[in-house]
């Protein structure tokens, strides 16, 4: 084909199955906007803020079989994209970022034109790869490389910077030169897998761990088959939620530390851990000094598609490079000839007892209905009630903050593609753009966003995007009028001016101002009918639920794990431990 660089960019993306493109109007890449918005093969969306476009592209890559694309203009458009792209990078999600740029002759080094920015440097640390298309004849090569790098190995965002003059120049390209992308599935050799099986089956207290790589590989069925074939207890990371059936007797907890003391007990007492597609992040209590040191004699087996991830964040005994799906298929095929399991008879039952203790503790909080004898609903009660209302076919997004703690505790899913979060960056405010993207891709399914007032306030303008495109999502807002997770810090320091207290905001009225349905409720009895009205409103809906900040049983992980080494003054340190 012959066409402008912008035409060729879109043709290559279409060849590779890209269907969704999100961004904010950008004159410098106006031809790409024109082409995408005019082509019925693309679903083209403009957001109210570039950050939301990054989050939407991230979510598209999670809920479809394609890769999301986002774009922004030179300078402030590019800088506004950064939070959304960084979140995708932290969660290893493939997407393509396109930024407009000033004329090729005016950059590198810059002549300080309007909105001038070094956008390659800006995105370098939050993408797998990035490049500027300085010459039209290289455009096809660079776009093909971008797509391949984003989706290969450990996936992640890539970035192309396109000078405005180059984007309009002509180039030629035969689309058949490189075939449509196909996922490569490397796996370890038979001898390596035999070593894994012998180590695992010889364990007295084995533990299986599913990470986000299992989801990205489409290996949920294979992981569940291993679970049933071995009868070994298992946990998952937050990115691996939904891999373990919620009602499985072998499921000890999904969501890392947030899933309770039972997960810590499993990780501390296991003698062999088989971790698939797991990067051993902060929420995984394995080999994490000083809070969770690796026990003497424990063996950790890590299988990951990315060689650089092996042993990067945990002390690994056996590290193998392999795709989760192909590796699990091979392991399952070898199980028939594997040694007999040496698992201790009471290993699983001891962990289930610990899990039950955690379940009882969170249920007790919810059953209390309020915090400390007050009159406002507690967050546990509301999260539990929401979990009972979510339709079976819904896609649920759990935003960050305290809504994440209680939402993750009570809202379970039997399919990893039905539950979305953003744990890598610990972001606030991704929930609404995620929900918009999920509804865009799956208009016939209910999409529920559970969020807090702090998080929703960061991207609330995207309610207008939802209304404009008819994305009839349901937002359930736990509104405690605080930056909830930081409330204990102000109390610890006995400082009322710490800055965590927020104004009481009528989010239902704000929603109506954006053309959405809005309701305020303050009793748990009102939630079911309000939820049904929201589902059938025929427009995006916000249910603003007044709650009080509610401590979570696992809050101790903040001072003990995430802030280890932070030197609190002695009296404040004692108060912090008491609050946690």
Domain ranges for the chain: 2-177, 190-351, 369-574
Distance CA 462, CA 47 (A): 7
At residue 112, φ and ψ (nearest 5 deg) are: 60, 45
Element (H, E) at 467: helix 462-469
CATH architecture of 2-177: 3-Layer(aba) Sandwich (3.40)
Cα separation values, 240 from 220, 228, 363, 428, 470, Å:
9, 18, 24, 20, 30
Please state the separation of Cα 102 from the chain's center in Å: 33
> Going edge to edge, which strands form the sheet with 299-304?
251-254, 234-236, 206-210, 272-276, 299-304, 318-321
Residue 95 per-residue DSSP state: E
How many other CB atoms sit within 10 Å of the CB of residue 532?
12
Per-residue pLDDT of the chain (580 residues; tens, 9 = 90+): 899 999 999 999 999 999 999 999 989 999 999 999 999 999 999 999 999 999 999 999 999 999 999 999 999 999 999 999 999 999 999 999 999 999 988 887 777 777 778 999 999 999 999 999 999 999 999 999 999 999 999 999 999 999 999 999 999 999 999 999 988 899 999 999 999 999 999 999 999 999 999 999 999 999 999 999 999 999 999 999 999 999 999 999 999 999 999 999 999 999 999 999 999 999 999 999 889 999 999 999 999 999 999 999 999 999 999 999 999 999 999 998 999 999 999 999 999 999 999 999 999 999 999 998 888 999 999 999 999 999 999 999 999 999 999 999 999 999 999 999 999 998 999 999 999 999 999 999 999 999 999 999 999 999 999 999 999 999 999 999 999 888 887 887 888 898 999 999 999 999 999 999 999 999 999 999 999 999 999 999 999 999 999 999 998 877 778 788 887 777 655 555 555 5
Distance CA 174, CA 144 (A): 12
Q: Where are the beta strands (DSSP E) in 264-383?
A: 272-276, 299-304, 318-321, 377-378
Distance CA 286, CA 268 (A): 7
**pLDDT confidence of residue 572:** 57
CA-angle at 419, arms to 555 and 280, nearest 5° = 55
DSSP result, 538-559: SS-EEEEEEEE----TTTTHII
Distance CA 464, CA 516 (A): 8
The CATH classification number of 369-574 equals 3.40.50.970
Q: Do domains 2-177 and 190-351 have the same CATH topology?
A: yes
How many other CB atoms sit within 10 Å of the CB of residue 491?
18
In the beta sheet, which residues pair with residue 2? Answer: 172
Of 341, 354, 339, the residue nearest 269 (C-alpha): 354
Distance CA 310, CA 304 (A): 7
- Cβ burial of 14 (10 Å; 0-12, 13-18, 19+) is middle
At residue 18, φ and ψ (nearest 5 deg) are: -65, 130
- Rounded (10°) angle between helices 5-15 and 30-38: 40
Distance CA 65, CA 391 (A): 23
**pLDDT confidence of residue 374:** 86
**Which residues have CB under 8 Å from 504's CB, separation 6+?**
479, 481
Multiple choice CATH, 190-351, 3.40.50.12500, 3.40.50.1010, 3.40.50.1220, 3.40.50.10440: 3.40.50.1220
**pLDDT confidence of residue 321:** 97
**pLDDT confidence of residue 106:** 84
Element (H, E) at 130: strand 129-132
102-105 own/partner pairs: CB under 8 Å, 24+ apart: 102/28, 102/74, 102/163, 102/164, 103/163, 103/164, 103/165, 104/134, 104/163, 104/165, 104/166
Of 324, 352, 331, 354, the residue nearest 416 (C-alpha): 324
Here the tokens at position 195 are 């070593």
User: Can you tell me whether residue 16 is helix, strand or coil?
Assistant: coil
Q: Buried b / exposed e across 355-394, counting CB within 10 Å, b at 16+?
A: beebeeebeebbeebebeeeebbbbbbbbbbbbebbeeeb
Residue carrying the six token digits 């180059």: 166
Q: In this structure, what is the dihedral angle of CA atoms 129, 130, 133, 138, given to the nearest 10 degrees?
A: 0
Distance CA 228, CA 244 (A): 11
**pLDDT confidence of residue 577:** 57
Quote the radius of gyration of the chain (alpha carbons, Å). 24
Of 36, 26, 122, the residue nearest 77 (C-alpha): 26
């Amino acid at each position: 084909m012959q066409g402008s660089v912008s035409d060729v960019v879109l043709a290559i993306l279409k060849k590779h199955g890209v269907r969704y493109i999100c961004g904010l109007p950008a004159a410098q890449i106006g031809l790409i906007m024109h082409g995408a918005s005019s082509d019925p093969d693309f679903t083209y969306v403009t957001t109210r803020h570039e950050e939301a476009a990054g989050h939407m592209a991230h979510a598209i890559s999670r809920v479809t079989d394609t890769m999301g694309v986002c774009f922004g203009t030179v300078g402030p458009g590019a800088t506004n994209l950064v939070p959304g792209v960084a979140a995708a990078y932290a969660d290893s999600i493939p997407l393509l970022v396109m930024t407009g740029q000033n004329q090729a002759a005016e950059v590198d080094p810059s002549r300080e034109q309007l909105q001038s920015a070094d956008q390659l440097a800006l995105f370098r640390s939050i993408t797998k790869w990035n490049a500027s298309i300085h010459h039209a004849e290289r455009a096809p090569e660079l776009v093909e490389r971008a797509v391949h790098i984003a989706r290969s190995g450990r996936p992640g965002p890539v970035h192309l910077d396109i000078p405005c003059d180059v984007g309009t120049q002509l180039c030629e390209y035969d689309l058949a030169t490189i075939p449509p992308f196909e996922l490569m599935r490397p796996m370890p050799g038979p001898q390596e897998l035999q070593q894994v099986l012998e180590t695992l089956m010889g364990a007295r207290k084995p533990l299986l761990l599913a990470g986000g790589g299992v989801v990205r590989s489409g290996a949920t069925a294979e992981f569940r088959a291993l679970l049933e074939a071995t009868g070994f207890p298992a946990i998952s990371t937050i990115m691996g939620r939904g891999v373990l059936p919620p009602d499985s007797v072998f499921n000890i907890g999904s969501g890392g530390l947030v899933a309770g003391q039972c997960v810590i007990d499993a990780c501390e007492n296991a003698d062999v851990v088989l971790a698939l597609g797991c990067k051993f992040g902060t929420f995984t209590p394995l080999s994490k000094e000083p809070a969770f040191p690796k026990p003497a004699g424990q063996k950790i087996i890590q299988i990951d598609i990315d060689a650089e991830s092996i042993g990067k964040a945990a002390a690994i005994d056996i590290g193998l490079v392999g795709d989760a799906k192909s590796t699990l298929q091979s392991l399952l095929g070898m199980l028939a000839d594997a040694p007999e399991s040496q698992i201790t008879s009471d290993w699983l039952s001891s962990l289930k007892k610990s899990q039950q203790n955690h379940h009882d503790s969170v249920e007790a909080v919810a059953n209390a209905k309020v915090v400390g004898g007050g009159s406002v609903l507690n967050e546990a009660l509301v999260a539990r009630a929401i979990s009972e209302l979510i339709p079976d076919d819904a896609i649920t997004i759990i935003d960050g903050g305290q809504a994440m703690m209680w939402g993750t505790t009570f809202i379970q899913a039997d399919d990893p593609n039905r539950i979305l979060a953003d744990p890598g960056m610990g972001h606030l405010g991704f929930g609404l753009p995620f929900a918009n993207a999920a509804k865009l891709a799956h208009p016939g399914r209910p999409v529920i966003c559970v969020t807090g007032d702090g998080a929703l306030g960061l991207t609330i303008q995207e309610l207008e995007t939802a209304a404009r495109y008819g994305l009839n999502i349901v937002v359930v807002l736990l509104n405690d009028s605080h930056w909830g997770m930081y409330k204990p810090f102000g109390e610890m320091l006995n400082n009322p001016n710490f800055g965590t207290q927020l104004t009481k905001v009528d989010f239902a009225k704000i929603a109506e101002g954006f053309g959405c349905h809005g309701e305020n409720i303050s009793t748990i009895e009102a939630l079911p009918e309000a939820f049904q009205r929201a589902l059938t409103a025929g427009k995006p809906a916000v249910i603003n639920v007044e709650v009080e900040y509610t401590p979570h049983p696992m809050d101790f992980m903040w001072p003990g794990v995430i802030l280890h080494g932070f030197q609190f003054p002695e009296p404040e340190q004692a108060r912090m431990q008491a609050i946690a």
